[in-house]
Structure 1
Amino acid sequence: MPDFSNYQGSSDEWKAFVKANPLPAPGLALSPQALRAATNALRVKISQAELERDDLCSKVTWRDYSVLTRDQCNIIVRVYRPNHASTTAPLPVYLFFHGGGHLFGTIETEDAGCARVADRAGILVANVGYRHTPEFTHPTQVHDALDAFAWLGANIDAIGGDRTRVIVGGISAGACLAAVVAQQSCATNMGITICGQLLCIPWLVHPDNNANNTPASIPTSSYQQNTHADILPLGLMQLFSELLGASDYSDSTLNPGLADDAAVAGLPKTCFLVAGQDLLRDEGLSYAQKLAHNGIPVKVHVFPGMPHGFRRYSDLRASWRWDELLVEGCRWFLSSDKTSSGDIVVEMREDTQTRPSFSLA
């Protein structure tokens, strides 16, 4: 694994934020169900506040669709449509998978984020309500993601989407699902074309299959540097992994970041958003390097000094930049530009004093 410790960084903004707003304990003494309920309640509250603050309910309309899974259950896909979009022309579609270690997250926790991207990028966003641990273990989440992708292929015309302009992406565990969908779509014709994948703070390697988290001789690895990091310490990551209940840690669908060159050949343009003080930093940057090595157009943005999941705190300037990069990434995917940025872009943004403006052009 390459040494990415130079992106660990330090953020004055994060230090000041934590000093003024002490973070809650990880809650590892709670049962998984109690921890999930408390976390989801907070995330819904945050999402509802952002919906109101940004007046997103007047800018975006959404509708729920029921998707039949391979084991004859139903999951929900919520599709968000910008009200300023044409009512006749098909729109690009962003198939989104939420984060939360496969334990946290609901459709409602993602309403504000999905509506914001739909409005600012002028696209449809399809938010997948896949099933969670501990009730549903691996590979349920992967199967739900692939079934949602198949549903989109069968129904994209009916929801007003453009089958030649599909983006897949997600956050953390959801980014892993998106990466698996993208890799498998290269080998299977589902009738839709993925033009880009958006991998945000991605979890791409199962911890028990990750050489980063064991050798004390590699103090510069992200697992060693961020064992006690804010928001996602190692103990919480281990809980997520244990609840998945995977019998084979080397399963390729748990480790898309370790895919060989043949598996990533032909992947679409890919944009990475990575946090510097994150257990998952190195696997995200390593996967970005692998894609670039195989000729995949790649853009990478790193937030030094920021922990995993910092975006939930929407008043941070780094969070405003995160939102901006999501829109920029979608526009890059939909453009004819196939050039990579060439370098990892370090998103310090310490000099940004006002909320960035967005253009719908």
Structure 2
Amino acid sequence: MAADGGKDHFGDLTDDLLQHVLSFMPEDDALQTCVLVTRWRGLWRHTTSLRFNLDDWSSFPTCERFEQLVKFIIHLRGNSPLAKCEINVYPDESLYANTKLLLEYALNCQVEELLLEAGDIEDKPLVLNTPLISQHLKILHLEQVTLECYALNFSGCPVLEDLKMMQCGISAWSISSESLKHLSITDDCTTPLYFHIRISAPNLNLLQLEDFDGLTPFLESMPLLETAHVELGRSCHDFCNSQGNCQTHKCGCHDYPDGGVLLNGLSNAVNLELIAEPEMFIYRWDLAWGPTFGKLKTLVLNEWFTAVDLVCILQQSPILEMLTLMLSNTEKLVGGAQLTIQKSCLCVRLKVVTIECGRVDEGVHKILNILATCGIHHEKISIKLPGSH
């Protein structure tokens, strides 16, 4: 079209717009725009976004080709500031040295958002074992990366706010950051098997912890926490079927610390979801230490709790407004110890209780009786069965 019309329509765009277009291209393609016209030769050097998508052999058939590209870009581009850098490499140990070089280069370019995915960590993991140092990094997303020793000490990243880990191997004593606001550990991350890794993030206001393989992380105080979703699935190692008389040395209950693991750290949450398989003991044992949820307004539970646990939570959540109970199995709610309910200690602000269940059985009726004894009128309670709206 440019040849027929005698005009390069890209010439109507400003340099800023052209650099924005280039930021969406993989770096090897962006680099090739140098051959178009003189104006394009330096544009890619000043893009504020770099993308290295090397997740298959078709893009870079040899490690030498990748190494050449990395060194060429670092040499020609210099330390021009970066807003975002995305690195996606297939699992190959010979590529990881240059991947780490890119990582260091991005940090030197004052990158604000860094995304790193490194393939299948079980076969050929990319291992990070030194702390990241950056005065500018705000967002860090890691996928299929193994993090060891000091790699999870973010004291060298004083403005880091968002940390997301997916399918990562976590092998460290602690995750620590004074600035972190959002933390997500999901999608089959592995945590240590012989100790509860400590999470120290006093300014955190959003936590997502689910689908991990290992012992549950220990949460230190989070006074600014707004929203938390914690899900203890079948891969979590904090389970026990012996009701406190466990004789299995490898069971997670033998590593249970005094003071609890999760709920004290979550006690300042405003919105809280606690989901678990019934055999997970963490929530039930944590409740025995008497955490008070003084700011909690919305709460979602599934069927891990007993009748005693439910009363305990209600008594320790004085301003709770909305409660949702998702029940597929209510066996633990039937029978059990006699309950002592003090109406003066219960949440008087509770406005809505939603019970999602497959059928209204004896366990559901017991919950209704507990709520009635707590002074919660039936008008505030709704039961949702399959197919209902």
Normalised to the residue count of structure 1, the TM-score between the two structures is 0.31
Q: Which has the larger radius of gyration?
A: 2
More relative contact order, 1 or 2 (CA 8 Å, 6+ apart): 1
Normalised to the residue count of structure 2, the TM-score between the two structures is 0.30
